[in-house]
């Protein structure tokens, strides 16, 4: 009888170990995270509206997510704002999450204004495009001419940023 219990114990233990190994192999041990930053001098021009990107300060960055950034000064609802827009395209075959940060500084490196946005729980679907629209930076009219440099950082991941 004692041998029967020992045999059952070994079978249950062996089964548990095999099951745990199977579950661990199927799980991700870490999220795939990519980060890219860009910084430099900037001269902002005025635009008629948020769709007038002809004279925008523009550049692209990103890895699987392609961020096309466009920065300019425009008016929204009677307020002059710095538009720090980004048009994002997911080049991958999986949903990806992102976080986008852009900051603007004066000649002494003091922050003049900034904006941040990120994906929600589902991320951006494969081969889909998203235009960030919560990117208006309201600052006093006298501060626009003081902006000399910018810094932008984007994070992209197969899991929610911050989890």
Q: Which CATH number fits domain 33-157: 3.40.630, 3.40.710, 2.60.40, 1.25.40?
A: 2.60.40
Average pLDDT over residues 139-151: 96
The count of C-alpha atoms lying within 13 angstroms of the C-alpha of 38, restricted to the half-sphere facing its C-beta, is: 12
Predicted local distance difference test score (pLDDT) of residue 136 = 94
Q: Domain limits of the chain?
A: 33-157
- Helix H segments across the chain? 2-26
Predicted local distance difference test score (pLDDT) of residue 52 = 81
pLDDT tens figures, 97-131: 999 999 999 999 999 999 999 997 789 999 999 99
Predicted local distance difference test score (pLDDT) of residue 26 = 38
Quick one: DSSP state of residue 37? E
């Amino acid at each position: 009888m004692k041998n029967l219990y020992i045999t059952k114990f070994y079978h249950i233990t062996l089964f548990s170990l095999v099951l745990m190994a199977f579950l661990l192999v199927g799980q991700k041990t870490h999220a795939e995270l990519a980060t890219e930053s860009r910084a430099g001098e900037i001269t902002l021009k005025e635009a008629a509206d948020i769709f007038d990107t002809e004279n925008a300060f523009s550049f692209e960055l990103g890895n699987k997510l392609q961020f096309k950034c466009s920065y300019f000064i425009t008016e929204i609802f009677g307020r002059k704002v710095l538009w720090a827009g980004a048009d994002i395209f997911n080049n991958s075959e999986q949903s990806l999450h992102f976080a986008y940060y852009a900051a603007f500084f004066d000649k002494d490196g003091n922050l003049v204004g900034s904006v941040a946005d990120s994906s929600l729980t589902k991320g951006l679907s494969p081969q889909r495009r998203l235009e960030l629209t919560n990117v208006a930076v309201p600052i006093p009219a006298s501060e626009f001419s003081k902006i000399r440099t910018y810094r932008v950082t984007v994070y992209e991941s197969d899991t929610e940023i911050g989890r």
